[in-house]
Amino acid sequence: MRLDIRYRCAFEYGALVHESQNELRACPVSDTRQTLLGYRVTTSPASRVFSFEDYWGTRVDTFGVREPHIYLEVVAEATVETKSTPLLTTSPMFEALRGPAFVEEHWEYLERTPHADWNGKLAAEAQSQIDLTGPEVVSATLGIHRRVGALLSYRPGTTYVGVDVDEVLERGEGVCQDYAHLAVAMCRSVGIPARYVSGYLFTDRDDTGEDVDGDEVVVQTHAWFEAAIPGVGWLALDPTNRQAVGLRHVKIGHGRDYDDVSPLRGTYSGPRNATLEVSVEMRRLAAVTSAQAQQQQ
Amino acid sequence: MTTDLFDGYAPDDFFDEVFTEDASVRPHYEDLVARLRSFTPTELARRERLRDAAFRSAGITFTVYGEDEGVERTFPMDLLPRIIPAAEWSEIEVGLIQRVTALNRFLDDLYVGERAAVRDGIVPAWLLSSSDGFRREAFGVPVPRGARCLVAGIDLVRDAEGTYRVLEDNVRNPSGISYVLENRAAMTRVLPNLFGSLRVRPVDDYGITLLDALRHVAPAAAGDPTVVLLTPGVHNSAYFEHAFLARQMGVELVEGRDLVVDEHVVYMRTTRGLQRVDVIYRRVDDAFLDPVVFRRDSMLGVPGLLAAARAGNVTLANAVGNGVADDKAVYAYVPDLIRYYLGEEPILPNCTTYLRWDDDQRKAVLDRLDQLVVKPVAESGGYGLCIGPAATDAELAKVAEQIEANPRNYIAQEVVSLSRHPTLVDDHLEGRHVDLRPFVLTGEKTTVIPGGLTRVALRRGSLVVNSSQGGGSKDTWVLRDDDAKVDDGDEVT
């Protein structure tokens, strides 16, 4: 599926601010599931953007605005082509998770991190899924994924990033970041390496993930998770929508948790009070026929 | 009449820097010992007053954390210098250059290279990525010429046989060089005549050498580079040194608020407007350097600084993320890193270290805690250290608990029976344990300042020499090789 994505983030400050310095992570990654066809970032007031790929492989756009301003808008526009991925046909057992080479390679995704720490209750929830599915990694991961969907109900605005995943579990509600963190923490608690994914989803409702009739939606950034399956690779699942990651998911990047791949972080000098408006416009482009594709080449 | 200061002096069972096992004076100390034996008590007291006056006028203080928070006091210099003969020094020097060269290669490989040492199994990936000093945020940030450890302080000790061993590497923000220079300045007033007769190698060109090295790592585009020293400010324990070094180099001493980043270029605010900065000798820790990337609450750093460094518009020295190389668990791999990168055998051996304990090894270590030194891997300055033979049962039990809870965070080392040096205690001399922190600079090439900071444990029997733990210091004299050609500009002080 070919998608145009327009990520827009606008700050309006209570008074003049200056010396704003920022890092943006909004660019879709190119990997086996998707190909980035075009990308550009513009800011207002205008600034020079310096871009690089970070430790996790995510493109970062850095920019600063020194001049006094009361309004700052960042727009990132991307065109991306997503591909379907084949279904998993292997099912390694839990022993494979303990192979020294596998542990060495995935060490960072097994540790506790600030947004993916866990207590006994969370670990027990994860363990109960393995008791049901048996010590088989794909089934156990899918079990955890489904369990997260059952444990939480989607409630926009209930949390902000910074709430402990234990607390999210206690409350039983959250937004997509909470679903992803809960799934990551549950996987890690039983020894399955898992990572947090930031991205976009072409749907008009985060909580259903249903396909839309039209070709345009206005959404927010989305989050899901990936679990490492020995001998296979990363299995990407979207617990908020209780579905596997598919053609309508566009990945920006991954990390140990939200902090490694947060869309925008920065500092400025000026008053604290600011309003923030973030929106993501996504447009499905007409399918390109193979004849047209050849012509384009 | 004179009283011999050395009356009753006993080297005991330690390697003594001045006396051999059969109680004769080592040849390179003969002049000094003869001189001290000629001192009357009045004369000695006069020399002590000279020293105290020299330090007071220089305003040298060192803040000690932990005990009396924020109390400033002097880092006392003992009247007896430590002397290292030329041949001995040249071996140390080669060993230090070798070690720092390997550390620079390793860090560059890790942050901007192919991570070859990890790929080839020299050092495990998990050990590096679990290190507190490893900064993923600095991944891909280049440093011209790979001079990541522009200033390194390598702590050396001598064991019972007198062999120099590396105790730890300091490649983040090693401090102490100001004491080396001030000690020397004071000693030239306390014992002026000895310098000439002994042909002591000078240390006073440190500022020039450091500035040279800093200018050398400037971004290629900078014609006549502007260098500044970035300090956390007057409340930092090493502020004195920051101000001292800025003065020695003749560069601006700035705080975070004095710098600003515009379009990924760093500028210093001056009365004449903004002035471009090319190299920052930063004495601010990684975590506080740039609130966009690291701690958001830091007021000490400069927003956008790391992106500017990444864009190649400014060089930060030392490089961000060096802490992974002086992590005390990674330390154990340095000899292998030397072999791997340089294809050479390490010249300076490590101290025997136990780490990455599997359950059996950890248990064996726990059973011997009363005989070992246990160190937290990420601390410096002697904080959190537990010396088994000197610890109480309660202290040992606490350490055992900490190790059980987090094995990665601790290493254990065999106790090194540190060498001792006669040190003035009231009106006589007693043996006190010493170490040595030479300073190694990497610019166009890697060089070592002759000598370094000799730290002395002032408490009888204490093995901890850190200034933050109540230690003192000695001026360290490296003697010129009599056969060596005297270079111009390297004259005897």
Beta carbons of B260 and A104 less than 8 Å apart: no
The one-letter amino acid code at B187 reads M
Domain boundaries, chain B: 87-342, 353-414
- In this predicted structure, what is the pLDDT of residue B400? 87
- DSSP bridge pairs for A39: A78
Q: Which conformational region is residue A285 in: left (phi greater than 0), alpha (psi within -120 to 50 degrees), or beta?
A: beta
Looking at the structure, do residues A278 and A252 belong to the same domain, yes or no? no
B353-414 architecture in CATH? 2-Layer Sandwich (3.30)
What's the pLDDT band for B156 if we cut at 50, 70, 90? Answer: very high
- Report whether pLDDT(B204) > 80: yes
Banded model confidence at residue B488, pLDDT cuts 50, 70, 90: very low
Give A-chain residues touching B263 at CB under 8 angstroms.
47-48, 64
Q: What is the pLDDT at residue B409?
A: 83
Mark the ranges of chain A whose per-residue pLDDT is less than 50: 289-291, 296-297
Q: How confident is the model at residue B257 (pLDDT cuts 50, 70, 90)?
A: very high
The mean per-residue pLDDT over the stretch B431-450 comes to 96
Structurally, how many domains does chain A consist of? 2
CB contact under 8 A, A55 and B136: yes
- pLDDT grade, residue B75 (50/70/90)? low
* A287/A195 same-domain check: no
Q: Flag whether residue A50 sits within 8 Å of chain B, measured between CB atoms.
A: yes
Confidence label for B357 from pLDDT (cuts 50, 70 and 90): low
Where is pLDDT greater, at B73 or B217?
B217
Answer yes or no: do A139 and A190 share one domain.
yes
Which residues of chain B does A105 touch, with a Cβ-Cβ cutoff of 8 Å?
A: 125
B279-282/B315-317 β-pairing:
parallel
- More confident: B81 or B8: B81
Cβ atoms of A11 and A294 within 8 Å: the answer is no
Tell me the per-residue pLDDT of B314-324, one tens digit each, with 9 for 90 and over: 999 999 999 99
Domain that holds residue A235: 94-260
Q: What tokens were used for B117?
A: 């040492």
Do both A256 and A267 map to the same domain? no
Picking from A31, A2, A64, the residue whose alpha carbon sits closest to that of residue A253 is: A31
A71 touches chain B (CB under 8 A): no
The answer as to whether A240 is a domain residue is yes
A112 touching B (Cβ < 8 Å): no
Higher pLDDT, A215 or B484: A215
Query: From B291, which residue of chain A is nearest by alpha-carbon distance?
Result: A267
> How far, in Å, CA of A46 to CA of A60, rounded?
17
Does any domain span residue A89?
no
pLDDT given for residue B64 in this prediction:
46
User: Is the Cβ of A105 closer than 8 Å to some Cβ of chain B?
Assistant: yes
Residue at A152 is within a domain: yes
Task: Provide the pLDDT for residue A207.
Answer: 72
Looking at the structure, tell me whether residues A227 and A98 fall in a common domain.
yes
By C-alpha distance, the chain B residue nearest A256 is: B136
Contact (Cβ atoms closer than 8 angstroms) between residue B82 and residue B421: yes
Is residue A204 in a domain? Answer: yes
Average per-residue pLDDT for chain B: 88
* A207 inside domain: yes
Distance of CA A268 to the CA centre of its chain: 26
Q: Is the pLDDT of residue B338 over 70?
A: yes
Tell whether A112 and A206 lie within a shared domain. Answer: yes
Asked if residue A220 and residue A185 are part of one domain, the reply reads: yes
pLDDT, tens digit, for every residue of B369-428? Answer: 888 988 887 776 667 788 888 889 998 999 888 888 887 788 888 888 899 999 988 888
Contact B108, B217 (CB under 8 A): no
pLDDT at B465 over 80: no
Specify the pLDDT at position B491.
42
Q: Do A64 and B291 touch (CB under 8 A)?
A: no
- Mean pLDDT to the nearest integer, B193-206: 89
List chain A residues with CB under 8 Å of B262: 64, 66
A169 in any annotated domain: yes
The encoded tokens of residue B490 equal: 């390297």
What local confidence, expressed as pLDDT, does residue B451 receive?
95
pLDDT in tens, B111-152: 999 999 999 999 988 889 888 899 999 999 999 999 999 999
Q: What chain B residue is nearest to A61 in terms of C-alpha separation?
A: B307
For the segment B274-284, the average pLDDT, to the nearest whole number, is 97
Residue A138, SS3 per DSSP: helix
Closest-CA distance of chain B to residue A156, Å = 27
What pLDDT does residue A297 have?
45
A141 in the same domain as A55: no
**A88 falls within a domain:** no
Q: Does A64 touch chain B (CB under 8 A)?
A: yes
pLDDT exceeds 50 at position B69? no
CATH of the domain at A274: 2.60.40.2250
> Could you tell me which residues come within 8 angstroms of residue A170 by beta carbon, excluding any fewer than 6 positions away?
none
For residue B59, what pLDDT band results from cuts at 50, 70 and 90?
low
Listed residue (B128, B328, B130) closest to A111, CA to CA:
B130
Same domain, A40 and A128: no
- Residue A187 counted as domain residue: yes
pTM of this structure: 0.91
Q: What is the mean pLDDT of residues B303-326?
A: 97
A68 touches chain B (CB under 8 A): no
Same domain assignment for residues A112 and A218: yes
- CATH among 3.40.640.10, 3.40.50.11290, 3.30.70.890, 3.40.50.720 for B87-342: 3.40.50.11290
Q: Is A99 in the same domain as A78?
A: no
pLDDT of residue B468: 58
Is A266 in contact with B293 (Cβ distance < 8 A)? Answer: no
Query: Do A8 and A78 share a domain, yes or no?
Result: yes
pLDDT band, very low/low/confident/very high, at B366 (cuts 50, 70, 90): confident
